[in-house]
Amino acid sequence: QVQLQESGPGLVKPSGTLSLTCVVSGGSISNSNWWSWVRQPPGKGLEWIGGIYHSGSTNYNPSLDSRVTISLDKSKNQFSLKLTSVTAADTAIYYCARGSERAFDFWGQGTLVTVSS
Q: How far is the CB of 75 from other proteins (least distance, A)?
A: 26
Query: Distance between CA 27 and CA 47 in Å, rounded?
Result: 25
Q: Does 39 bind other proteins (CB under 8 A)?
A: no
Between 16 and 67, CB nearer to other proteins: 67
Stretch that binds other proteins, among 9-17, 18-26, 38-46, 71-79 (CB under 8 A): 38-46
Q: Is 110 in the site for other proteins (CB under 8 A)?
A: yes
Residue 67: strand, helix, or coil: helix
How far apart CA 106 and CA 85 sit, in angstroms, is 29
Q: Exactly one of 45, 66, 75, 117 binds other proteins (CB under 8 A); which one? A: 45
Residues forming beta bridges with residue 38, ordered by sequence position: 48, 95
Q: Beta 58-60 vs 68-73: how paired, if at all? A: unpaired
- Residue 95 makes contact with other proteins by CB under 8 A: yes
Q: Is 76 helix (H, G, I), strand (E, B) or coil?
A: helix
Q: How many residues does the structure list for the chain?
A: 117
Site residues (vs other proteins, CB under 8 A): 36, 38, 45-48, 51, 59-63, 95, 99, 101-105, 107-110
